[in-house]
């Protein structure tokens, strides 16, 4: 077996072990700590007890959602940074999160959640995200070519516009709606709908599988568009499909969990520094690392000031920002 492939397998096993350990820790720890031995006995006994409800109705959905969304955001970050050859690009740079947040804010302002149910929130968030994706794409395509720098600048400007509109909505909102908008914007993995959890998990897994069809394209694009074209890559087709893939992953994640920053920015950097720049390993390693990171951050968010809960976006911002500063200051390392 090739030495490089063997090393990659070892890294995947290590990251899978870290992810499993993080999930088990999250399963056991909380306002009501439940030992691992007790968990096995609860599984054998079946439902009915309050401990069983805590584990399988509250903690398990959060773990699965953290796995799907953390993996999807990290995967989107890898794809976009490879496309743009820019270490500061993340899933939220293109205005997708702003569009989703604007959709949810309008939903709360108009009272659609109270009239038609809680499922309208993720639907309106996804509708807002898709609207921004279509707008950014249509503004940056010229004669069949997707202009990368124009895409980035257009996304940043639309993000600023969405943020301004959200502040306007917050100024016009009632107190209870304002609290809901602020809490949603800061991100949360508290989602009771198994339909949404299964949907985002399926989208996240399919995104990982599909991205592997473009691993060689991403390796070539990281060298530059001209070099990629010389290597026989259809760069315009690859850019369009990769942009759509990253946008859909981000749109689903933001519409369900809110704005959870730094996962798509920091995790690809960290994995790239430790494992390497080859997208054949970078994609799956970032997916597993992002999932483990978000599950860990969510565990801290619901236990650090227990029984109260912090928005998970606060924890990812603090830890992700600290990790990013460490990576920037590390001697001999360049992005």
Q: Examine residue 120 and state whether it is found in any structural domain, yes or no.
A: yes
Which helix (H) or strand (E) segment holds residue 330: the answer is: none
The crossing angle, in degrees rounded to 10, of helices 279-303 and 60-84 is 140
In a domain, 263, yes or no: yes
Angle made by CA atoms 84, 286, 221, in degrees to the nearest 5: 25
Whether residue 334 lies inside any domain: the answer is no
CA distance 236 to 87: 21
Distance CA 37, CA 210 (A): 39
Burial 72-100 (b: 16+ CB within 10 A, else e): bbbbbbbbbbbbbeebebbbbbbbbbbbb
232 pLDDT exceeds 70?
yes
* Contact predicate 315/189, CB 8 Å: no
pLDDT reported for residue 57: 82
20/146 Cα distance (integer angstroms): 40
The pLDDT score that the predictor gives to residue 13 is 95
Task: Please report, for the domain that includes residue 176, its CATH number.
Answer: 1.10.3470.10
pLDDT computed for residue 97 by the predictor: 83
Q: Are 259 and 188 in contact (CB under 8 A)?
A: no
- Residue 267 has a CB neighbour count (10 Å cut-off) of 31
Give the pLDDT score at 206: 95
Question: Does residue 249 fall inside a structural domain?
Answer: yes
Does residue 196 fall inside a structural domain?
yes
Q: How far apart are CA 258 and CA 154, in angstroms?
A: 22
Output the 3-class SS for 133-193.
HHHHHHHHEECCEECHHHHHHHHHHHHHHHHHHHHHHHHHCCHHHHHHHHHHHCCCCCCCC
Q: Does the pLDDT of residue 334 top 60, yes or no?
A: no
- Please check whether residue 288 is in contact with residue 101, taking contact to mean a CB–CB distance below 8 angstroms: no
Residue 292 above 90 pLDDT?
yes
Tokens for 100, please give them.
């989703």
Q: 141 forms bridges with which residues in the sheet?
A: 146
Q: For the chain, how many structural domains are there in total?
A: 1
50-108, pLDDT tens digit by residue?
A: 777 888 888 889 999 999 999 999 999 999 998 888 877 888 888 888 888 888 888 88
Residue 285 pairs with which residues in a beta bridge?
A: none
pLDDT at 155 over 90: no
How many percent of the chain have pLDDT more than 90?
23
Does residue 47 carry a pLDDT above 70?
no
What value does the mean pLDDT of the chain take? 85
Residue 305: band (very low, low, confident or very high) from pLDDT cuts 50, 70, 90: confident
Can you tell me the distance from the alpha carbon of 228 to that of 222, in angstroms, rounded to the nearest whole number? Answer: 8
Decide if 296 is inside a domain: yes
Beta partners for residue 246, in sequence order: none
Q: Does residue 307 have a cis bond before it (omega within 30 degrees)?
A: yes
Residue at 335 is within a domain: no
Which of the two residues, 175 and 250, has the higher pLDDT score? 250
Instruction: Tell me how far the alpha carbon of residue 33 is from its chain's centroid.
Output: 28
What band does 126 get if pLDDT is binned at 50, 70 and 90?
confident
238: exposed, middle or buried (Cβ count in 10 Å: 0-12, 13-18, 19+): buried
List the domain range (segments joined by +) for residue 147: 3-329
- Residue 13 placed within a domain: yes
Distance CA 184, CA 181 (A): 5
């Amino acid at each position: 077996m090739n030495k490089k492939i063997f090393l990659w397998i070892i890294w995947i096993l290590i990251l899978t072990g870290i992810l499993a350990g993080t999930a088990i820790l999250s399963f056991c720890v909380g306002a009501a700590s439940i030992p691992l031995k007790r968990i096995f006995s609860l599984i054998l006994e079946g439902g009915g007890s309050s401990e069983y409800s805590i584990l399988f109705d509250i903690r398990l959905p959060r773990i699965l959602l953290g796995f799907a969304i953390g993996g999807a955001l990290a995967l989107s970050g890898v794809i976009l940074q490879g496309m743009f050859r820019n270490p500061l690009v993340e899933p939220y740079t293109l205005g997708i999160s702003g569009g989703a947040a604007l959709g949810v804010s309008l939903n709360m302002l108009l009272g659609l959640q109270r009239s038609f149910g809680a499922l309208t929130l993720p639907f309106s968030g996804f509708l807002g995200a898709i609207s921004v994706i279509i707008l950014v794409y249509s503004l940056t395509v010229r004669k069949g070519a997707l202009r990368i720098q124009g895409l980035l600048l257009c996304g940043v400007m639309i993000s600023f516009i969405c943020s301004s509109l959200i502040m306007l909505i917050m100024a016009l909102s009632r107190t209870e709606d304002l609290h809901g908008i602020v809490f949603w914007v800061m991100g949360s993995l508290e989602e009771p709908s198994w339909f949404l959890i299964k949907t985002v998990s399926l989208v996240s897994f399919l995104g990982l599988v599909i991205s592997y069809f473009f691993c060689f394209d991403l390796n070539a694009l990281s060298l530059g568009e001209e070099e990629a074209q010389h290597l026989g890559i259809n760069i315009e087709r690859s850019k369009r499909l990769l942009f759509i893939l990253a946008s859909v992953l981000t749109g689903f994640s933001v519409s369900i969990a809110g704005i959870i920053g730094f996962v798509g920015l920091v995790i690809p950097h960290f994995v790239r520094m430790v494992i390497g720049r080859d997208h054949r390993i970078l994609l799956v390693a970032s997916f597993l690392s992002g999932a483990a990171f978000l599950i860990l951050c969510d565990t801290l968010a619901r236990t650090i000031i227990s029984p109260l809960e912090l928005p998970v976006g606060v924890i990812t911002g603090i830890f992700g920002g600290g990790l990013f500063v460490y990576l920037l200051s590390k001697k001999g390392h360049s992005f």
